[in-house]
Amino acid sequence: MNTIEKLDPVVSIGIDAAVVAAHQVAIRGPGIVEDFRVRPTLAGLEELSVRLADWAPAMVVAEPTAGTWLPLLHAVTESGCRAGFVANRDSARLRKAIAGANKTDVIDADLLARSAEILGVEQAPIPPAGQIGLRRAMRRRHRAIVEAHRVDCRLWALAAWAFPDVWLACGGHGVAQPVLGRWSDIRALGRARTASIGEVVAAHSRDKNPIRRAERIKAGAAGWSEFWIGRLDLDDLAWEVGQCLDDIAIADAKLSATTERALGRWQQLWPDDVLRTIPGIGPICAASIRGWWGQGTHLRSAKAAAAHVGLNPSNWESGQYRSPSRHITKQGPADLRLLLYQAANVARHHDPGLAAHYRRLMCDRGHTHISATSAIARKLAGRAWKILQTQQPYEVRDLDGNPIDPVTARVICAELAVPADIRRRNRATQQGRRTP
């Protein structure tokens, strides 16, 4: 038994977590240097709990490597110690600053043991079992969205050089996919009846004159079919178009399945989620917030909530130079940050306070739409955190702080809309700044 007062720990502990190999543990303190390894098995975690019990309630710092953080969190908690995590990028920067190009498991564990005070590590809460499942489902949904976009871009890239006139006539994926799904061979599309193409266009667009668009699609297909004679095997092209469409169908099915699973889990855990009362936050965004934050009790403030998602701006000062409002840090869950950004773009049309703030940023400070919407997303994250603390429905108010109904709120937001000429001016200004 170590002669250390349990109520006043003087040691710091770091664990370099591993997925397949053993966890490297480092215990550091005045005159204390102890290193050992434990396997990521049940027996290894039990051994870890026993050996750390002598140092309770010391802080144990680890990286959230893959999913190993969860069993480690439980093992550390059972030992009586506290557990905290640092982002992989933060620990990597610290290691590079101290150890240079050297990297071993022992070095990593040693730096983690010494990083609690430097990086401001706080105790991590143990999330409920259902919240973990919801979070992982939402992360899979995010990856499915990325993959769906990626396969959409493959079809776009193919059409951009093989038959660009057809793609431009379709006006994008909404019409191009069903048209090419029926006529993957542009020779067949060039011979198809204009009325048949028009029926597909009318079913997948709001075009007031689908026949005119159908004529352009047919003409483009016929023209490129003739152009490629003797220059490109059109059977190979038709096969590749079919493969792209199959990839899109698979990606869409996966996205639909993950969305259904995530929403079902969210509705089971929070059937009447108070987050839905916030304008702009729909079921998908609310499910992601719950997956990452749960009840939000581990976040100390609205600023901490925004920082957790990476929506807080970074600061840079050196000598007399100060840049207090820089790009957001983007250090946090990318899936939740994207959903809050999308929710902010909707919320500014339904909440006068957010609409006014967006207008000030665009009109008075010359922000672009992206940077202004990111600022709205930061406010939305703070409001979501506040609602989680109070568990009271959100109440939309006018600019004087008076409660208003949703219809009146939308009218006020419409009056605060940013003029089109200011949007063009801001885009031109930002493009000019990027010009070398």
Examine residue 6 and state whether it is found in any structural domain, yes or no: no
Regarding whether 305 and 290 lie in a shared domain, the answer is: yes
Regarding whether 350 and 425 lie in a shared domain, the answer is: yes
Examine residue 7 and state whether it is found in any structural domain, yes or no: no
pLDDT digits (tens, 9 = 90+) for 225-263: 999 999 999 999 999 999 999 999 999 999 999 999 999
pTM of the model: 0.87
Task: Give the 3-state DSSP-derived string for 4-21, with helices as H, strands as E and coil as C.
Answer: CCCCCCCCEEEEECCCCC
Q: Read off the pLDDT band of 5 (50, 70, 90).
A: very low
Regarding whether 403 and 318 lie in a shared domain, the answer is: yes
Examine residue 290 and state whether it is found in any structural domain, yes or no: yes
pLDDT at 436 over 50: no
Examine residue 116 and state whether it is found in any structural domain, yes or no: yes
The whole-number average pLDDT for the span 191-212 is 96
pLDDT digits (tens, 9 = 90+) for 385-414: 999 999 999 999 999 999 999 999 999 999
Structural domain boundaries enclosing 409: 270-434
Regarding whether 227 and 316 lie in a shared domain, the answer is: no
